[in-house]
Amino acid sequence: MVNQSLFRSDEVSDIKMVRGEGVYLFDETGKRYIDSAAGTFNLSLGYSNQEVIQAAFSQANHLLHCTSSFTTDPIDNLAAKLVETSPSNLKIAHTKVSSGSVAIEGAIKLAQYYTGKKEVICFHRSHHGQTIHTMAMSGFSFRNQPFQFSKDAIYHVPYPYYYQAPNKTPEEVNNEVLTYIEDTVKYSSCDQVSAIVMEPILGLGGNVVPTQQFFVDLREYCNQKGIVLIFDEIQTGVGRTGCMYASDYFGVQPDIMAVSKGLGGTGFQVASILMEEKFNHMPAYYHSFTYGSNLMSCAAGVKTLEIISQPAFLDNVKVQGAYIQQRLHSMKDKYDFIGDARGVGLMTGIEVVKDKLSREPDVDLTNRIKKAAFANGLIVRTSGYGKGNVVKVRPSLNITGSKSKELCDILDATLADIDSGLRAKSPKPQKTLSCSQPLV
């Protein structure tokens, strides 16, 4: 049989996956993997969720595509449900976008159109997409190196990363970052910044969680300067933190918010921009896409929001998240190469270091953990776009207690095997003679 992967331009594993169910993924040999990456954080309701699939198929049987010149129930219902479940200040949903990257670009356009200013502030190690403009906004220089496009109107500032600043309090780190932002606006941009774009929890950059006070202070600063605060909730949104959005968790409302990934529930491609009413004056032709607002995906999004917004569902996210975080903290205490365990809800991770004193990232060991976990039937992702040393644990939001335990048991056993191997390779201390021992 011809290997069909030979005709693909992207690099893929030789392992062929054929079926998914809940938190599990199955390869063609029948081997089962528990997916703690939830299909690159897209599968908020796991593989093959039947409620979402039936909602999408029911819509497909009536109308699969329609020009946006007309009104349709799936788009109207999705917009209404997004506004209902989002922070109370966000009254308008723009659904004519087809991906997270496109949602972020639309949010920037809205801020620029409203303020009349062009410049944008982003954060180091941030990830906002892979279109030309969102790559320019990316906080990883290696993503941009081969390409030629302008980054003149984009400034990058540090993200508050407390673990990597052990001699400073969180308040001191926050103040340094805010001062850096203030200096950037004053000295680099001449007060022409339209927006600050931020992931409320740094996703691909290492699962870094700021304090609530940082957001309170940032919100106040944006208010003072007339800067639009945009939250990239593509990874953190739709229940991932145990609240509908991370902005709810931190108690701070953005002016504009981009949503995607988990909005599709079980893998449907759908995205949206949520905004305050004052931004709803930009003509639609500035940001509207043929396959935005796909009717089948919109129907899936509505059903996803109906399920996840239920209080009992979000309570389960908190419960499972607390259990997994407790287990990760236990692993941190047990293994010398785990420097930190952190997260909110079911957006968690462990930071792998060469030793706990220096806190130096150990990228090679992180990749070994990922490979060994996969061999043991556990799929994890690493922060390859950040410092490269964080193993991320983000299963589907409807994970049960028994599956959370299975996930943690496999990860713990994987770390135990690696720890045993490291200890076996460590040179044993040589016995030295004391001054009371005679030389022979």
65 in helix, strand or coil? coil
| Two structure tokens written together for 329 | 């903290």
Q: Where are the domains of the chain?
A: 4-48+311-422, 50-308
Q: Could you give the CA distance from residue 296 to residue 418 in angstroms, rounded to a whole number?
A: 45
Q: What is the CATH number of domain 4-48+311-422?
A: 3.90.1150.10
Alpha carbon separation from 376 to 16, 30, 31, 233 (Å, rounded): 17, 14, 10, 32
Nearest C-alpha neighbor of 93 from the set 267, 263, 265: 263
What pLDDT shows up at residue 352?
Answer: 97
Please, is 55 exposed, middle or buried when counting C-beta atoms within 10 Å of its C-beta (0-12, 13-18, 19+)? buried
Residue 393 CA to residue 35 CA, distance in Å, equals: 9
Distance CA 221, CA 295 (A): 39
* Six-digit token string for 25: 């993924």
Which pLDDT tens digits describe the chain residue by residue (440 residues)?
Answer: 556 655 655 567 889 999 999 999 999 999 999 999 999 999 999 999 999 999 999 999 999 988 877 889 999 999 999 999 999 999 999 999 989 999 999 999 999 999 999 999 999 999 888 787 787 787 766 666 777 676 778 999 999 999 999 999 999 999 999 999 999 999 998 889 999 999 999 999 999 999 999 999 999 999 999 999 999 999 999 999 999 999 999 999 999 999 999 999 999 999 999 999 999 999 988 888 888 889 999 999 999 999 999 999 999 999 999 999 999 999 999 999 999 999 999 999 999 999 999 999 999 999 999 999 999 999 999 987 778 999 999 999 999 999 999 999 999 999 999 999 998 887 665 554 444 433 32
pLDDT at 36: 97
pLDDT score at 7? 61
Using CA atoms, how far apart are residues 192 and 227, in angstroms rounded to an integer? 9
**Cα–Cα dist 42/261, whole Å:** 4
For residue 286, what are the CA distances in angstroms to 22, 104, 160, 195, 283?
A: 39, 14, 34, 18, 6
H helices of 37-119, in order, are 38-41, 50-60, 73-85, 100-115
Question: Which pLDDT score is estimated for 93?
Answer: 97
Rounded to an integer, what distance in angstroms lies between the CA atom of residue 364 and that of residue 86?
40
- The CATH code belonging to domain 50-308 is 3.40.640.10
Using CA atoms, how far apart are residues 189 and 234, in angstroms rounded to an integer? 27
Residue 59 CA to chain centroid, in angstroms? Answer: 29
399: left (phi over 0), alpha (psi -120 to 50) or beta: beta
16-25 own/partner pairs: CB under 8 Å, 24+ apart:
19/47, 20/46, 20/47, 20/48, 21/46, 21/47, 21/48, 22/46, 22/47, 22/48, 22/396, 22/398, 22/403, 23/47, 23/395, 23/396, 23/399, 23/403, 23/407, 25/379
Query: Beta 17-21 vs 347-352: how paired, if at all?
Result: unpaired
Collapsing DSSP states into helix, strand and coil, what is residue 164?
A: coil
Q: Which residues contact 138 (CB under 8 A, 6 or more apart)?
A: 122, 126, 127, 128, 129, 144
Q: Helix 363-375 to helix 401-425 angle, to the nearest 10 degrees?
A: 130
Tell me the pTM: 0.92
Q: Cβ(367)–Cβ(350) under 8 Å? A: no
Using alpha carbons, select from 248, 251, 243 the residue that is nearest to residue 216: 251
Give the strands of the sheet with 381-382, arranged side by side: 338-344, 347-352, 390-393, 381-382
- Round to whole Å and give the CA distance between 59 and 168: 54
Question: What amino acid occupies position 294?
Answer: N
